[in-house]
Amino acid sequence: MRFEDILDQDTAKGILINSIQSGRLAHSYLFTGPHGVGKIMMAKALAASLNCPNSSGVDGCGRCVICRQIEQGGYPEFLIVAPEGNNIKIDQIRELQSRLCFAPAIGRFRIVIVDMAESMTEEASNSFLKTLEEPPQNNILILNAEEADDLLPTIVSRCQKIPFRPLGVQVIAGFLEREKGVDGERAAVIAKISEGSLGKAISMLEEGFLETRDQWLRILGQCFDQPKGELLETASKLVSSLKTKGRGKYKIGGLTDLLALWATWYRDLMVLKQGGGEELVINQDFRRTLKKVTRRYNIKSLVAILSLLDQAQRDLRRWHNPLLVMERTILGIVKLGPEPQPIN
């Protein structure tokens, strides 16, 4: 794994390469930014740079046993602590600390990653703080978190902060085409919905998100033919079949994703309504349907629907009652819905 193999993230790369070349590495770093934008790959590039016997001074050689182990997993001094269940627990931190008592068995530096560090329990955080206060020699500690604000300020203040940014749509779409053999149109749809996270884009692909999307758009379309009682039933079915926040690290397939997807639909209608270029449409493969539907909306109702969806996403994040949120949203969308088609 070399720094140049990592997509984008020039700021983060620049800071780390500079520290390596000047010999001024920090004991602990805080990598902030969305999941799935290259934080662990960056840590691997750092590990290879510091431990490869043939290192160029910036990058590992990529061919020796050490470089290959770091890249593929199995390098004994590259440790990742990740949540077990919902949290990183104090026992996990204690186990880590007992390993840090010993110098690295091979290589110059042990690299330790605390992934999703914001999921540390309070006890775990306080215990880990002690390690940060007296960092053991020849270890580089890396905390990964979406936002620094989610961690104890005392932890943040002991780390050098390195920001990671969401990746561009083109970068993600290009990767899906090149490495995963996805056709251009579908790659663009996933890239646009993935919120700049390559990890999320790959998970969406693997979990068949495009099929889920078709189903969710169908459900939205059917709402316009349903009487109020059935609409409430639709809301209730969605709430019971989808979790509020979705599954796994990338929270895929939950109600917030459903609402985000519906929002892309109305954003597309808005783009076309305002005469924007077709290339700006997210749901490229539905261009023809979108063009037909947009004629039946006016801008005012599209704006109102988009703000309704936006509000619903925020309400779900704040743990408002999901059933009430979905009922209100679906009834609102239908009320603002398309004008009846003229009979020719």
Q: Which residues bind Zn ion (CB under 5 A)?
A: 52, 60-61, 64, 67
Report the C-alpha gap between 283 and 299 in whole angstroms. 19
CB of 66 to Zn ion, least distance (A): 5
Rounded to a whole number of angstroms, the minimum distance from the CB of residue 60 to Zn ion is: 4
Q: How far is the CB of 62 from Zn ion (least distance, A)?
A: 6
> CB within 8 A of 127, min separation 6: which ones?
90, 93, 94, 97
* Choice between 5 and 214, CB closer to Zn ion: 5
CB nearer to Zn ion: pick between 61 and 82:
61
Nearest-approach distance from CB 55 to Zn ion, in angstroms: 7
Closest CB to Zn ion among 61 and 260?
61
Residue 190 C-beta: closest distance to Zn ion, Å: 34
Min dist. Cβ of residue 54 to Zn ion (A)? 5
Minimum gap (Å) between residue 29 Cβ and Zn ion: 22
Minimum CB separation from Zn ion for residue 318, in Å? Answer: 48
The three state secondary structure string of the chain is CCHHHCCCCHHHHHHHHHHHHHCCCCCEEEEECCCCCCHHHHHHHHHHHHHCCCCCCCCCCCCCHHHHHHHHCCCCCEEEECCECCEECHHHHHHHHHHHCCCCCCCCCEEEEECCHHHECHHHHHHHHHHHHCCCCCEEEEEEECCHHHCCHHHHCCCEEEECCCCCHHHHHHHHHHHHCCCHHHHHHHHHHCCCCHHHHHHHHHCCHHHHHHHHHHHHHHHCCCCHHHHHHHHHHHHHHCCCCCECCCCECCHHHHHHHHHHHHHHHHHHHCCCCHHHCCCHHHHHHHHHHHCCCCHHHHHHHHHHHHHHHHHHHCCCCHHHHHHHHHHHHHHCCCCCCCCC
Structure tokens at 196: 């700049």
Residue type, 100: L
> Residue 59 corresponds to which amino acid?
D
Residue 294: both structure tokens together: 């947009």
Nearer to Zn ion, 47 or 141 (CB): 47
Task: State the minimum distance, in angstroms, from the CB of residue 106 to Zn ion.
Answer: 13
Q: Which is nearer to Zn ion, 60 or 253 (CB)?
A: 60
**With respect to Zn ion, which residue has the nearer C-beta, 110 or 200?**
110
